[in-house]
Amino acid sequence: MDEPILLNLPEKVDDFDSAVDTGWELLRSSEALNRLFYVASAVGDFSVIWHILNITQKIINPSRKRSVVRLAILIGIESLIVNQGIKRLFRRSRPEIGSSSHPHKLRKPATSSFPSGHASSAVLAASLLSENSSASPLYKTIAAIVAASRLHVRAHHASDVIAGALVGWFFSKLVRSIQTL
């Protein structure tokens, strides 16, 4: 069997990531932000936060047109495509972690760093949960916090998070275009 072709990102991307990481370092010294971002990163694992919000939205509004199963299936498909498809195309190591870099416990993924699955799922889920919902600003804020948490906890580079958010945005647009067919 042939070896897969693995892609590398341009050096300029590494320069961008380094600059963002250096600028973000001050925020990592805040215990309040550490708690917020480490919790956000943990509840973003396996899209737990999005499944909880999906079920909560249905409980609060039982007449909601969209089913709970729909979002769960779409997140599952997106996760499969990102984690077993797109990530396998790229050879990208995760950020270096110093000995005191993680003040809280963190699950260490084994996949390529590019793109961020947390960011992708967050943007997709927030977009779909926001459909006809007055809680749209809340969902989008939570998505931004979950996505940014991956940079804060050094699970991803800034470009990974941006690319993941773009993938999530693309999937949400694709889902909406399929719905209108």
SS3 (DSSP) at 90? strand
Query: Quick one: pLDDT at residue 102?
Result: 60
Query: Quick one: pLDDT at residue 177?
Result: 92
The whole-angstrom separation of Cα 158 and Cα 167 is 14
* Residue whose structure tokens are 């999937």: 171
Query: Quick one: pLDDT at residue 103?
Result: 60
The whole-angstrom separation of Cα 112 and Cα 122 is 18
SS3 (DSSP) at 7? strand
- Map out the domains of the chain as residue ranges: 30-93+102-179
The whole-angstrom separation of Cα 148 and Cα 165 is 10
Query: Quick one: pLDDT at residue 45?
Result: 95
* Residue whose structure tokens are 């809680």: 135
SS3 (DSSP) at 116? coil
Query: Quick one: pLDDT at residue 2?
Result: 58
Query: Quick one: pLDDT at residue 1?
Result: 54
The whole-angstrom separation of Cα 145 and Cα 150 is 9
Taking the alpha carbons at both ends of the chain, their separation in whole angstroms is 39
Per-residue pLDDT of the chain (181 residues; tens, 9 = 90+): 556 668 888 999 999 999 999 999 999 999 999 999 999 999 999 999 999 999 999 899 888 777 889 999 999 999 999 999 999 998 899 998 754 556 666 777 778 899 999 999 999 999 999 988 899 999 999 999 999 999 999 999 999 999 999 999 999 999 999 987 6
| Single-letter code of the amino acid located at 76 | G
